[in-house]
Structure 1
Amino acid sequence: MKRGKKYLEAAKSIDRATLYDPAEAIGLAKKAAVAKFDETIEVHIRTGCDGRHADQQIRGAVVLPHGTGKAVKVLVFAKGTKLDEAQAAGADFVGGEELIPKIQNEGWLDFDVVVATPDMMGVVGRLGRVLGPKGLMPNPKAGTVTMDVTKAVNDIKAGKIEYRLDKANIIHVPIGKASFSEEQLADNFQTLIDAVNKAKPATLKGQYMKSVSVAPTMGPGVKINPLKLV
């Protein structure tokens, strides 16, 4: 893969063989964000889990103290008074059964998170093939299947993020923007790490966090010493 001049310049300040302290790594990742837009700072955690086993699956959500820096569009599936509640909480789109063909047939996906009340999951289940692969399917573990739609919408708008294992047993999560201060990014990082540590499967043998790195969207990754995060 051919790297641009800016990437190579930014990579010079990072020693690939060094495992940095979180604060130093965040500072280096922030400096390496040299694109013309406000890059997202992401954390990548390679775990020792085997997601093929149900008891080693990791999935949850956490509200980052300083948010993600991204305006998130929320769609709520609900009925009755819960529709008004979702609207009052600031949901961008609210509805029920009538939204199914719009998503299924017209390919409408102009939202980032989907929340549903439990009594709507029968309806939302029909969208599994569309929402599932995009990671948009509501899930009780992520707090997106709930009767408390006000709290769900407020949390998401405040900077709630979901973390889960991908097929390679790695967690990829945004912790803010390059324009955030180092302190804000460090707070968000620590909040994420605390949540992931709490989610450690009881059945896991061996090292939980095998490698952790932080990187801007277009820049090089900076490795963090995983042993300092436990």
Structure 2
Amino acid sequence: MPKHSKRFKETLEKIDIEKLYDAKTALGLVKEVSSAKFDETVEVAVRLGVDPKHADQNIRGTVVLPNGTGKEVKVIVFAKGEKVKEAEEAGADEVGAEELAEKIEGGWLDFDVAVATPDMMSIVGKLGRVLGPQGLMPNPKAGTVTFDIAKAVKEIKAGKIEYRVDKTGIVHLPVGKVSFSEDELLENFKVIMDALVRERPSAAKGKYLKSVVLSSTMGPGIRANTSDIMTLIGR
């Protein structure tokens, strides 16, 4: 049997791990039981009734959190010409072309999101073996391959995040930080859940929202009631 710390045991006394909580109560508990010395991320794990092995059920998309993620996101942009100034004015942390690609090939990966204009993909494509495994490859479906660089950078900086179901049918996403208010977390959570429900593929059979678990970085999972969530987002 694993040994748990005194702090963890005290935390478990505050929650019922078998209970299904309404979303706002669950988020409040996540904040209450957080006891790390840093501002933990509030996360959600959503198990969907899909089979990711089928292309038409491989859920993937983006969502802009109204209150942001609470994390400063470093964005790099592959661009040339007038798009360089556009990216810089939008707040990109680094902008370049061949020289930026060489820097990454040399092992530099100090950024969170890479954006590229379509005409730069011949350069960026060569970085697939480096960026792909890190989940950093620009992708049109995620809105990170676009000529509208200013919009892409501003949305990412404001809280745009990408989601993708894993091979077990689960989507993991940040909801915000423990320092956020319950209302801020709930607003972000509603936007996330609405986006996931909208993505339900016609091929998915049976119950779509199988389980929703909220937690902080170092905290225990707190189960949310899926029926309550559907009501929350007006479904």
- TM category, shorter: over 0.9
User: When the two structures are superposed, what TM-score results if normalisation uses the length of structure 2?
Assistant: 0.94
User: When the two structures are superposed, what TM-score results if normalisation uses the length of structure 1?
Assistant: 0.96
Distance across 2 between alignment mates of 1:162 and 1:185: 18
Aligned equivalent of 1:23: 24
Aligned equivalent of 1:212: 212
Deviation at 1:5, TM superposition (A): 2.3
Deviation at 1:86, TM superposition (A): 0.3
Aligned equivalent of 2:40: 39
Deviation at 1:101, TM superposition (A): 2.2
Aligned residues: 229
Distance across 1 between alignment mates of 2:120 and 2:218: 39
Deviation at 1:142, TM superposition (A): 1.3
Q: Residue 7 of structure 1 contacts residue 218 of structure 1 at CA under 8 Å; is this kept in 2?
A: no
Aligned equivalent of 2:233: none
Q: Residue 214 of structure 1 contacts residue 221 of structure 1 at CA under 8 Å; is this kept in 2?
A: yes
Q: Percent identity?
A: 60
Give the counterpart letter for 1:199 in structure 2: E
| 1:137 corresponds to 2:143 | no
Give the direction of change, closer, same or farther, for the CA distance of 1:75–1:3 in structure 2 (3 Å limit): farther
| 1:174 corresponds to 2:174 | yes
Aligned equivalent of 1:183: 183
Aligned equivalent of 2:63: 62
Distance across 1 between alignment mates of 2:135 and 2:210: 24
For structure 1, which runs of at least 5 residues remain unmatched after alignment? none
Deviation at 1:180, TM superposition (A): 0.4
Deviation at 1:122, TM superposition (A): 1.8
Instruction: Render the CA deviation track for 1:19-40: whole Å, top value 9, x for unaligned.
Output: 1100010001111111000000
Moved over 4 A (4+): none
- For the residue of structure 2 that corresponds to 1:129, the secondary structure is helix
Aligned equivalent of 1:6: 7
Give the counterpart letter for 2:49 in structure 1: G
Deviation at 1:137, TM superposition (A): 1.1
Task: After superposing the two structures, state which structure 1 stretch, 38-47 or 121-130, moved more.
Answer: 121-130
Distance across 2 between alignment mates of 1:154 and 1:76: 12
Aligned equivalent of 2:117: 117
Q: Residue 22 of structure 2 contacts residue 229 of structure 2 at CA under 8 Å; is this kept in 1?
A: no
- For the residue of structure 2 that corresponds to 1:227, the secondary structure is helix
